[in-house]
Structure 1
């Protein structure tokens, strides 16, 4: 589905969402009658300091002026790997965007990420993975780190990583692997109304506490994370 197709299916009652050089911003009317802020990245645009600060501004302005949920549409490259962006402190801009989304979610603005294309590395962390719930559409191709990059970092061969990726979702890019790890809450169908699926999700949003580790345990993608997190939580409470 194209971005226009997705927006039309999500908001049959109309929207004012625009794609400005890869940065999505605007608002739309929900089928239930409420309003939703829509931001995001389109056309596989790399997320740099300029895009991150624009998206952060849209969220902060919305917190001041409005209410309702926030939808983050994602079809990006990774973070922009340029000397200019690095010297300007790209990591801080990406962290700021993620914190703005988390802040909004903690103050009554439920955040939903919709991964409909590609995304990787810092761009995925600062957008879709910074929302309370991330859903995907068939054909989306996320990767926290692709295998060639992972090979450079771990010093393992591509052959070894490809073999590990067959049985261990943590090593494998792709929507199904992120869903098995709990990072992706669910995959929507692109053959039915996205508006109906959005309304159903909004009506049954999980509690504010991040459940990705629990989902990863239930689905067999991250069998240890939930138990370790619970143990760390218990130890922290004991030392208060």
Structure 2
């Protein structure tokens, strides 16, 4: 589903979201309140310019519309892989985006991430996964690292990783595996997108359940336990 169809289904003509250089920005009227919409489209690679543009949109929302909920729309092929962005400090620009989202949360903005198409690698880590809750459409594609790249990093044979991915969501791409791990809270029904957004906004005001969801769903069994042990030892 493209972003225009998604927002039209949620609000009809009740939005003014525009796209510039594959970055989405605008306002959506939903259930009687305005939401800031920020994100990317067309599988946009996230380089320095796009990371800073999204961070600017988040910070402008914090400054101009205190407390306004933020909907982060995710469609990215990951970080921009080119020398120029590396030399300009892509890691710092993407960290700045993540910190801008965290600042908004600390200032009382509820933040919902939605993977509506594709979410890969660092472009996902500093946007949708930084939200209070991250949801997805059932047809979305999510992965942080392809198995060949994972094999190079971990020094494990790709065949072994493929074998592990059949039973362990941590090693496997796919939206269902991210639901199992708790990284994605829920999948929205394409037939009732408004209900999905309404539930996500309600959940965004609650304590973070990602580690607990991962344990209950069997996709990430130890994270919640380890977190509790660290809290108890502190």
TM-score (normalizing by structure 2): 0.96
1:222 to 201, 205, 220: 220
Aligned partner of 2:75 in structure 1 is: 75
Q: In structure 1, what is the equivalent of residue 48 of structure 2?
A: 49
- Contact 2:177/2:219 (<8 A) preserved: yes
Q: SS of the residue aligned with 2:204?
A: coil
Question: For residues 91-170 of structure 1, what are the structure 2 equivalents within 5 Å?
Answer: 91-170=91-170
The answer on 1:199 being equivalent to 2:198 is yes
Q: Secondary structure at the match of 1:61?
A: helix
In structure 2, C-alpha distance between the alignment counterparts of 1:13 and 1:87, rounded to whole Å: 42
Classify the secondary structure of the residue corresponding to 1:180: helix
The more displaced of 116-125 and 127-136 is 116-125
**Is the 8 Å Cα contact of residues 13 and 29 (structure 1) preserved in structure 2?**
no
Offset at residue 89 of structure 1 (A): 1.1
Structure 1 residue 84: deviation in Å? Answer: 1.0
Runs of 4+ residues over 6 Å off in structure 1: none
1:72-95 alpha-carbon deviations (Å, 9 max, x no partner): 001101101111111111111111
Ranges in structure 2 where 5+ consecutive residues have no aligned partner: none
CA contact (8 A) 2:77 2:119 kept: yes
Cα separation, partners in 2 of 1:219 and 1:206, compared to 1, 3 Å: farther
> What do residues 152-182 of structure 1 show as CA deviations (whole Å, max 9, x unaligned)?
1112222111110000000001100011000
Match of 1:102, SS?
A: helix
Q: Which residue of structure 2 aligns with residue 36 of structure 1?
A: 35
2:12 counterpart of 1:8: no
- State the SS of the aligned residue for 1:43: coil
Query: Aligned partners of 1:64 and 1:189: how far apart in 2?
Result: 34
Q: CA deviation at 1:13?
A: 5.0
Aligned residue for 2:189, secondary structure, equals coil
Cα separation, 1, equivalents of 2:12 and 2:4: 12
- Structure 1 gaps of 5+ residues are none
The SS at the match of 1:15 is coil
| Aligned mates of 2:20, 2:120 — CA distance in 1 | 21
Give distance in 2, aligned partners of 1:222 and 1:201: 21
- What is the CA distance between 1:191 and its match in structure 2? 1.9
Q: Quick check: 1:84 aligned with 2:81?
A: no
Question: Cα 1:231–1:186, aligned 2, differ >3 Å: closer, same or farther?
Answer: same
Give how far 1:206 is off.
4.8
Tell me, yes or no, if structure 1 residue 231 matches structure 2 residue 233. Answer: no
Are the counterparts in 1 of residues 110 and 205 from structure 2 also a CA contact under 8 Å?
no
Matches of 1:202 and 1:108 in 2, distance apart?
13
Q: Is the 8 A contact 2:112 2:204 kept in 1?
A: no
